[in-house]
Amino acid sequence: MNNGLLVVLSGPSGSGKDTVLKGVLEKMDGDAFLSVSMTTRAMRRGEREGVDYFFVSKEQFQKNIENDLMLEYAKYGSNYYGTPIGPVKDVLKSGKTVFLNIEVQGGANIRRLMPEAVQIFIAPPSRDELERRLRKRGTESEECICERLRIAEEEMRRADEYDFVVVNDVLEDAVEEVLSIVKHAVKQ
């Protein structure tokens, strides 16, 4: 799409990828942006419209797909999630870095569409730790936690499709690892 770098970050719910990304964005200070996705899932407590997600109905989501407004999208659990194309294009045109925090089907779609994108998978140190983090977060019902753990197992099996796998055991180390991958890719 131009000169900026596109970075895909995937990893199971509970891997801590949102926190890693937050640390990376703070350190990149204005040189990198996070794409705000669109979703049909309900807003969680503390989330903000247009900051965490654009929250839309299934009908609106469908319309955006039909109007070619989405770079990629996927169904995760019973909801749809997708990347609006416009802002990604704008950041890439400006020569800056844009991060997509997306699940593995979306990651595979981007790999086909934009093979030049850097793909990073954030893995938890273990399955037990993943479950502990998901429960500690307290944002999901028991049913939803079980579904997320089931999806996590599928996602972990696809980690080797990514260019890099970063294990998020110590947060600061994971942030530094992602930063070094991105800095290296920007230089190339």
Binding site for ligand 5GP (CB under 6 A): 13, 37, 41, 72-74, 76, 81-83, 101-103, 105-106
Q: Rank residues 4 and 106 by Cβ distance to ligand 5GP and give the closer one.
A: 106
Q: Rank residues 89 and 187 by Cβ distance to ligand 5GP and give the closer one.
A: 89
Q: How far is the CB of 168 from ligand 5GP (least distance, A)?
A: 14
- By the 8 A CB rule, do 112 and 84 touch? no
* Number of neighbours of residue 150 by Cβ within 10 angstroms: 11
Question: What residue has token string 């969680």?
Answer: 44
What is the maximal distance between C-alpha atoms in the chain?
45
Q: Rank residues 4 and 16 by Cβ distance to ligand 5GP and give the closer one.
A: 16
Q: How far is the CB of 7 from ligand 5GP (least distance, A)?
A: 13
Please state the φ and ψ torsions of residue 12, each to the nearest 5 degrees: -60, 150
Q: Rank residues 137 and 183 by Cβ distance to ligand 5GP and give the closer one.
A: 137
Q: How far is the CB of 76 from ligand 5GP (least distance, A)?
A: 5
Which residue has the closest beta carbon to ligand 5GP?
Answer: 106
Q: Rank residues 76 and 162 by Cβ distance to ligand 5GP and give the closer one.
A: 76
Q: How far is the CB of 83 from ligand 5GP (least distance, A)?
A: 4
Q: How far is the CB of 152 from ligand 5GP (least distance, A)?
A: 9
Cα-Cα-Cα-Cα torsion 171, 101, 8, 151, nearest 10 degrees, comes to: 90
